Amino acid sequence: MTYRIPGFSLDLPEGTQDHSVLAFTLTPDEGQVFSIVVTRSPLPDGSGLTDYVSEAITTRETNGEGYALSWKKPYLHEGVEGFITAGTLESADSRADERRLYLLAGKTVLVMAALAQGMFTQSQLDALNGFIKGFHPDKTGENV
């Protein structure tokens, strides 16, 4: 399989599993930069997206990174089922807001995580919504 990314392609040996990580930064009109990371992971055999998301949240809440879930909602994006979550990451000297979008494309879990220092501003949330609108998961399962 040839894996294509802007700037290069890679011929993957048979048996390679794709756990891609793509990182982006967005700068809304107000100039408050924030980051978005998109990851791909195979859905574990015998698992569903609901279990995957619940386990991810529990792990993050209990591993000492200071994560707290604010809310979780079902989400449908271009006909692909998913969940969207909001949470916070806190340490002794900082606080960050986070939004995660989990989508199941074929047997691949796509996770889009956005992180802003402090609280998300409305312009950051608007930029994030624009980014999500431009995100088109492969519904055929051929490239996942």
Q: What is the pLDDT of residues 88-101, one digit of tens each?
A: 999 889 999 999 99
What is the per-residue pLDDT for 138? 81
Of 5-14, 33-42, 45-54, the least confident: 5-14
Q: What is the spatial distance between Cα 51 and Cα 44, in angstroms, rounded to a whole number? A: 10
Per-residue pLDDT of 21-48, as tens digits, reads: 889 999 887 778 999 999 999 999 999 9
Span 12-24, mean pLDDT? 85
pLDDT per position as a tens digit, 98-111: 999 999 998 899 99
CATH of the domain at 22: 3.40.1000.10
Domain ranges, residue 87: 18-133
Rounded-to-integer distance, Cα 86 and Cα 17, Å: 29
Assess if residue 8 is contained within a domain.
no
Q: Is residue 143 part of a domain?
A: no
User: Tell me, what's the pLDDT at 9?
Assistant: 87
pLDDT of the residue at 144? 42
- Does residue 140 belong to any structural domain of this protein? no
Number of structural domains in the chain: 1
Half-sphere exposure of 104 (CA within 13 A, CB side): 16
Q: In the beta sheet, which residues pair with residue 71? A: 86
- Flag whether 12 is in a domain: no
116 within domain boundaries: yes
Q: Return the structure tokens found at 134.
A: 């431009």
Question: What are the angstrom distances between the C-alpha of 9 and each of 5, 39, 94?
Answer: 6, 18, 39
53 token code pair: 């998301």
